[in-house]
Amino acid sequence: MKVSTGKVLAEAYANRSDAIAFARRIAEAKRDVAKAKGDNGLNASLNAQLGFSKSSTTIPKVYQSPKDQQQVQLSFIIPILDWGRSKSRTKTAEANLQFASYAVEQDKQIFTQEIVTQVTLFDMMKDQLVLTADADSIASEKYQIAKDRYVLGNLSITDLSIAFQEKDQANVIT
């Protein structure tokens, strides 16, 4: 099985919440800049309320002939002098956007590095598995040869025992 770092990175950026959070943080910082710029100058708000009211000592009488309540309110906010507060808010929001851009870029680098590290570890573990399987195969062959030599009388029981232990150790590693 071959794992491509590029494919893993593409999948991670497409499916992990961290990648979505990067775009969200930048969008929120841009929103704050737009809000700071929009709050400068003339602001107007329009509020409307429509409802009914009535009070009574019993519940059925509350709903008989209620009184209309209608209200429309239009307000304007015109700053005459703010001693540079609006400009300061705008500059602060722009600085926060710049900081968020740097922080997101750093977090993207860390995110990418973590993915690359995991892919590298996966490849290393795969290679280690192949080496361990080879070591197990060699240890089994060595034990079989030692066993055959013991049966023929060319090997002592101590050497056979050592070969058996080495075969078991190769199995434990896998």
CATH number for the domain spanning 22: value is 1.20.1600.10
Q: What are phi and psi of 75, to 5 degrees?
A: -130, 145
Q: Is residue 53 part of a domain?
A: no
- Does 105 fall in a domain? yes
Domain count, the chain: 1
132 belongs to a structural domain: yes
Structural domain contains residue 68 = no
Name the pTM for this structure.
0.58
- For residue 84, being part of any structural domain is answered with yes
On whether residue 92 sits in a domain, the answer given is: yes
CA atoms within 13 A on the CB side of 99: 8
- Residue 34 is part of which domain span? 5-41+79-173
Q: Which positions of the chain have pLDDT values less than 70?
A: 172-174
CA atoms within 13 A on the CB side of 142: 18
Tell me if 63 is assigned to some domain.
Answer: no
Residue 23 lies in a domain: yes
Give the model's pLDDT for residue 169: 79
Burial of residue 36, with CB atoms counted within 10 A of its CB: 0-12 exposed, 13-18 middle, 19 or more buried: buried
pLDDT for the residue numbered 153: 84
